[in-house]
Structure 1
């Protein structure tokens, strides 16, 4: 049985064998990557129960991440030690449909459906269920939820609290949950479909920060504890999405200073390669002392036992707004600002789309298969290096006037 430490790049690039092959992981005993001649990849767990050797299929790659597969394998190992055969346990589980309230439906929805979504989406759905939906609708009988109940909840969010965007997102989660209920014959209909989405509440934002604002924001970033300050810096340096950046794993960084974001983690649902500038590399290297023993580059320091990435930035955003005096600062503006400055520096629209992993901007419906495989790596690296140098120049402009701004890759906190 071949054995090695499995990593995302190894799994992602592994070619289809002539016959089915299993490569066992050195990190978790018994767990293996199974690859078939058709190219299908999945994680399995091999164990002995009594006098039988059995294989439990954990899940397919990349829908099931390497870290999640390892966690599942460890869980299976604990069950076996307790005298439980995981395969027989799975067979014995019966599907239950005793749902009395909206909260009952939510419990099953969270257990059975949300794990199939991207981690960032699942986390956001759980947050909205917990904070916005269940406190108001949780005790209502699942088949008695009316349009009036829903409209009252959404109006309170949009009108009384002035959060129209949040109102539409709450509606989307509630609708998804009830559609799941319809598919499982738990409810007969989805009442949310009869409640229209609030119009003109998600106006397109065009905010791009000036050089003075960038300098003020950078100073405010450096007042935050690590790894939070480095998250904001990385967002401005690389222009990637917040969730994808916060969930960066050490195993996603290859030896060519390229950050490989798995398809399961991207909004575009395709593997994305981000060449890292020297400034970004230095920033990441400075975090190794703090988070190098965890799975995540930006591992949360508030609960290190659970080995989780930083999940929420809202409190830090408020602190940065106050410290920088940029009162309308938002996380996504950093991505837009990076993109806008790269465009001003002459980066081609298609290359910019490739950097951002943005299908429409990249014109991916028009490019040929050969250019798609090429993936514009050299052009992306040039664009990000050009922006990193320009950003350093922006920050250095105030240094010349006597103000002190730490260099992009320097460590602090």
Structure 2
């Protein structure tokens, strides 16, 4: 048939076919009409590109949106390009794809990264509020929020998504002086990148940022530990810092984390268990590995808890927290405490987390099994054990833990007695463990750096005065 307007109109008036029909033009080879059972009529073309044996089938347009003469001209253009070895359909698809990509890039350029940062921050703050409501630790989320506000956001500035080069993240990580800060910042960047990827996918504008970064520096001096002499000096020095000092002593006696110690509650201290002895119950949300853990309490730790009164003032409501801060809140301002305690003990450049490494190292030096001492630290099994043991070793070993922690207290106080004897002090009673004087609250004085002298601005010649002797 000759494909023209009249022929198509005649075809359109015929009854609908049961199956798809194709009618070929009797003049232009490969040019035809396709009619579906629903009555839709479209122009089609089958052709081969020079140098390629594959036959291609292209839909050129629909009737009546496209007129027959326009469709024929389109078909002739396709065949002419094919005779020269060009695939016009592929070229047009590539051009359309490039145009869509350009439009997408332009859309991305209009999105400020700070807008995505705001979304990540809101989600993280919501997660933090949920954890706090469930009595879980939120220190890590707080640290990420701090790094976002102080380091990540200022480094990004007013950059848009389309103009941002994620290689800047690598430069930012390399510029951090602290290995610990670099590690936490890397975690922040990876979390933010995942948020950006999810948000841009939701907007229909996929984006790909690196999902890993290698830090040039290590994770810090994780091998550091105190000697018995040093840890005893710290224990003694902490006695002058009231409730905060009591918390440090409790951390030394139990090898607990700082984030766990500040959330210790009276209601979770069990002192009268006739089977396993006194222990501190850490619920799953307050531990790093999210698992419930029983911390055996040595006689020294029990004496400390019995000696320390609840915090009660006019401005402090009743609270279950043992080491409550002001207003019944979780204790904070660790930097000031660290500066004061380490200065009083004559120790510099260390951290409170080194308490944990010290406890298990000293116990290891005195013959205690590494698996038992690791149970004291409540590490995730996959982190501290390998292979089958990490999967199957689920014993609590509470009795062995108790032997270890009681032995630790004895070693610590033996060293404290040794230092006391050198200063003419009597040996500490193993009934009171030194907690035999009334407790006194103490405030930590914040150390203020002296201000630098500011040079006076030079006066103008009109206001200059003659110096007098």
The alpha-carbon deviation at position 409 of structure 1 amounts to 3.8
Whether 1:342 aligns to 2:367 is no
- Report which of the two structures shows the higher radius of gyration computed on alpha carbons: 2
Q: CA 1:404/1:123 → structure 2, altered by over 3 Å: closer, same or farther?
A: farther
Name the SS of the counterpart of 1:101 in structure 2.
Answer: helix
The higher relative CO (CA closer than 8 Å, separation ≥ 6) is in 1
**TM-score normalized with structure 2 length:** 0.58
What does residue 243 of structure 2 align with?
A: 227
The alpha-carbon deviation at position 164 of structure 1 amounts to 3.0
What does residue 56 of structure 1 align with?
A: none
Whole-Å separation in 2 of the counterparts to 1:367 and 1:154: 33
> 1:215 is matched with which residue: 226, 232, 237?
232
**TM-score normalized with structure 1 length:** 0.65
What does residue 152 of structure 2 align with?
A: 133
Whole-Å separation in 1 of the counterparts to 2:376 and 2:285: 18
Whole-Å separation in 1 of the counterparts to 2:270 and 2:309: 15
> 1:332 is matched with which residue: 353, 360, 369?
353
Whole-Å separation in 1 of the counterparts to 2:235 and 2:388: 37
Q: CA 1:408/1:293 → structure 2, altered by over 3 Å: closer, same or farther?
A: farther
Question: 1:119-148: per-residue Cα shift (whole Å, max 9, x none)?
Answer: 232222222223322343364445654225
The alpha-carbon deviation at position 166 of structure 1 amounts to 1.0
Whole-Å separation in 2 of the counterparts to 1:286 and 1:321: 24
Whether 1:254 aligns to 2:270 is yes
Whether 1:182 aligns to 2:197 is yes
What does residue 215 of structure 2 align with?
A: 198
Q: In the TM superposition, what are the counterparts of 1:80-159 in structure 2 within 5 Å?
A: 101-115=115-129, 118-137=137-156, 139-141=158-160, 144-156=163-175, 158=176
Q: CA 1:408/1:238 → structure 2, altered by over 3 Å: closer, same or farther?
A: farther
Whole-Å separation in 1 of the counterparts to 2:127 and 2:162: 20
> 2:297 is matched with which residue: 272, 276, 294?
276
Q: CA 1:219/1:142 → structure 2, altered by over 3 Å: closer, same or farther?
A: farther
Deviates more, 1:129-138 or 1:330-339: 129-138
What does residue 366 of structure 1 align with?
A: 389
Question: 1:88-146: per-residue Cα shift (whole Å, max 9, x none)?
Answer: xxxxxxxxx99862442233232444456652322222222233223433644456542
What does residue 21 of structure 1 align with?
A: none
Whole-Å separation in 1 of the counterparts to 2:424 and 2:206: 65
Name the SS of the counterpart of 2:270 in structure 1.
Answer: coil
For these two proteins, the number of residue pairs brought into alignment is: 305
RMSD over aligned CA atoms reads: 3.1
Q: Unaligned regions of 5+ residues in structure 2, if any?
A: 1-110, 132-136, 442-469
Q: CA 1:178/1:316 → structure 2, altered by over 3 Å: closer, same or farther?
A: same
The alpha-carbon deviation at position 191 of structure 1 amounts to 3.1
Name the SS of the counterpart of 2:342 in structure 1.
Answer: helix
Q: CA 1:146/1:215 → structure 2, altered by over 3 Å: closer, same or farther?
A: same
What does residue 55 of structure 1 align with?
A: none
Contact 2:268-2:282 at 8 Å conserved across structures:
yes
Question: 1:307-344: per-residue Cα shift (whole Å, max 9, x none)?
Answer: 32123422211222322221122111111111111222
Deviates more, 1:107-116 or 1:128-137: 107-116
Contact 1:283-1:409 at 8 Å conserved across structures:
yes
What does residue 295 of structure 1 align with?
A: 320
The alpha-carbon deviation at position 278 of structure 1 amounts to 1.6
Q: CA 1:167/1:350 → structure 2, altered by over 3 Å: closer, same or farther?
A: closer
Whole-Å separation in 1 of the counterparts to 2:247 and 2:153: 31
> 1:169 is matched with which residue: 181, 184, 195?
184
Q: CA 1:380/1:350 → structure 2, altered by over 3 Å: closer, same or farther?
A: same
Q: CA 1:382/1:138 → structure 2, altered by over 3 Å: closer, same or farther?
A: farther
Name the SS of the counterpart of 2:217 in structure 1.
Answer: coil
Q: Unaligned regions of 5+ residues in structure 1, if any?
A: 1-96
Name the SS of the counterpart of 2:294 in structure 1.
Answer: strand
The alpha-carbon deviation at position 259 of structure 1 amounts to 0.9
Whole-Å separation in 2 of the counterparts to 1:368 and 1:140: 46
Q: CA 1:176/1:340 → structure 2, altered by over 3 Å: closer, same or farther?
A: same
